[in-house]
Amino acid sequence: MIRVAIIGAGIGAEYLTGYRALPERFQVAVMCDLDAARAETATGGDPDIAISGDLEAVLADASIDLVDICLPPHLHFPVAVQALEAGKHVICEKPIVRSLDEADRLQAAAEASGKSVFPVFQYRYGRAIAQLKALQAAGLAGKPYVASLETHWNRDADYYAVPWRGTWAGESGGALLGHAIHAHDILCHVLGPVAEVTALTDTRVNDIETEDCAALALRMENGALATSSVTLGAGEDTTRLRFCFAGLTAESGSAPYAPAQDAWRFIARAPVTQAEVDAVLEEAPHRHAGFAGYLDAVADALEGRGGNEVTLADGRRSIELVTAIYQSVQDRGPKLLPVSSESAFYRGWIPDQP
């Protein structure tokens, strides 16, 4: 049984639902937030979950194995390092850190502590992505040609009333860092790393510092081409993903926050037959979805049966892509990955004068 402290009772409340779906694996012992009433509401008054406003005391509690950081982005790196130094395993919300330099220092801290850090990309977990991965593993997808991604969500002034949001200092980025990062993780989960990106961004929807619209063109290391369209000014929230391979096309529905749990179409392309595709879809292994699926994979990894978890390398890869994207925006041109530690952007992308 892994004993957990959740730090931050906003999205932290959704984790609690995920942990409760896995009662044989996790026990949430503490909900920690500076806002005690918010923490209390998040637990629904559960008498088995202690409420705390004292992060230091939570980290000093020897009975806690895993600290789940659901704090605003500027606190991710310092609190994750603090938790590792206190001997805890760490789950940390996206964006895991605010630069490649921080990513590498976090990796060093994890190695020094002997503990694990799991960045969060729960959108990957669900039957449809498991099916797509199974089709790839079975050799039916074949050569990847193109992918198209849409993160078209709606966020208004109420959403940006939370002070850290929409600011370079508090959020470290806009829709590319905070929202489309999930679709971009799925892109890399399916097709591997990005080799080149050209990005256009603008702030067209809300009165904020950071971008809320973007158009990206990407070349993957495996040669596939991808496009990503992002806005926070859509009429309704939709996420749509489409992958065209030599042997099939995989197409999501439009469920915004759980694309892997949506009903996808997998359309065979000759000489691959629909019967071959359907046989793999039927057999694709799948346990839990969303946060529960993510946490199930974390528990497997902590028990020495890893392979399906989000790794720190995956988190670093997401930060490397964001770095190259903002570099492309600021330099107005295509950028090649990987980003070197000699790059001016290695220590961050936040513009001096936004």
Give the interface with ligand NAD as residue ranges (CB under 6 A). 7-11, 32-35, 38, 55, 70-73, 93-94, 120, 122, 162, 178
Half-sphere exposure of 31 (CA within 13 A, CB side): 26
7 three-class SS:
strand
Sign for the pseudo-dihedral over CA of 50, 53, 59, 65 = positive
Given the complex with ligand NAD, which of 9 and 197 has the nearer CB atom?
Answer: 9
Q: Which of 223, 198, 216, 31 is nearest to 142 (CA)?
A: 223
Cβ 236 to ligand NAD shortest distance, Å: 18
Cβ 249 to ligand NAD shortest distance, Å: 27
Name the token pair of 345.
């952007």
Cβ 317 to ligand NAD shortest distance, Å: 16
Closest residue to ligand NAD, based on beta-carbon distance: 10
Cβ 60 to ligand NAD shortest distance, Å: 14
Element at 32 (helix H, strand E): strand 26-32
Given the complex with ligand NAD, which of 6 and 132 has the nearer CB atom?
Answer: 6
Given the complex with ligand NAD, which of 88 and 94 has the nearer CB atom?
Answer: 94
Given the complex with ligand NAD, which of 82 and 136 has the nearer CB atom?
Answer: 82
Cβ 252 to ligand NAD shortest distance, Å: 17
Name the token pair of 24.
């044989």
Cα dihedral angle (54, 57, 58, 60), rounded to 10 degrees? Answer: 160
Residue with tokens 């009662």: 23
Q: How far apart are CA 38 and CA 40, in angstroms?
A: 5
**Interacting residues of 235 by C-beta distance below 8 A, sequence separation 6+:** 154
Q: How far apart are CA 234 and CA 154, in angstroms?
A: 5
Given the complex with ligand NAD, which of 34 and 267 has the nearer CB atom?
Answer: 34
Task: Read off φ and ψ for residue 155, nearest 5 degrees.
Answer: -130, 130
Cβ 315 to ligand NAD shortest distance, Å: 12
Q: How far apart are CA 344 and CA 327, in angstroms?
A: 9
**Crossing angle of helices 100-113 and 312-331, rounded to 10°:** 170
Q: Which amino acid is at 95?
A: P
Given the complex with ligand NAD, which of 162 and 279 has the nearer CB atom?
Answer: 162
How buried is residue 188: exposed, middle or buried, by Cβ count under 10 Å (0-12/13-18/19+)?
A: buried
Cβ 70 to ligand NAD shortest distance, Å: 5
Task: Read off φ and ψ for residue 307, nearest 5 degrees.
Answer: 135, -30
Cβ 322 to ligand NAD shortest distance, Å: 13
Given the complex with ligand NAD, which of 31 and 190 has the nearer CB atom?
Answer: 31
Given the complex with ligand NAD, which of 136 and 228 has the nearer CB atom?
Answer: 228
